[in-house]
Amino acid sequence: MLVLSRKEGEKLVIGDNIELEVVRIAGNRVTLGIVAPTDVKVLRAELKPNGTNDPNSSGRNDQLPGRNRVAESGTRWPLG
């Protein structure tokens, strides 16, 4: 696992077409902005069923239409 520190407004680039941005940090909550192609599934880990690597098998699709998606995370991330 690669662990990186980021501040508000800073981004990570994954491959050629996925960007993660730290939109807001408030207490122990981090809000992430995710820009990815529509064929890339973005799913919160707690919604992924145990014992499977297929995010589609949960029966839920938390993606918003288009390329711009914002997901909130209640997880504490190593920020620096």
- Position 4 in a domain: no
- Position 25 in a domain: yes
**What letter would DSSP give residue 25?**
E
**Number of structural domains found in the chain:** 1
- Position 41 in a domain: yes
- Position 3 in a domain: no
Task: Name the nearest CA neighbour of 12 among 23, 21, 3.
Answer: 21
- Position 50 in a domain: yes
Low-confidence ranges of the chain (pLDDT < 70): 51-80
Task: Name the nearest CA neighbour of 6 among 32, 27, 41.
Answer: 32
Q: Phi first, then psi: give them for residue 19, nearest 5 degrees.
A: -125, 135
Q: Model pTM?
A: 0.57
- Position 5 in a domain: no
Cα separation, 30 vs 77, in Å, equals: 7
* pLDDT tens digits, 16-30: 999 999 999 999 999
Q: Which residues form the domain of 31?
A: 11-73
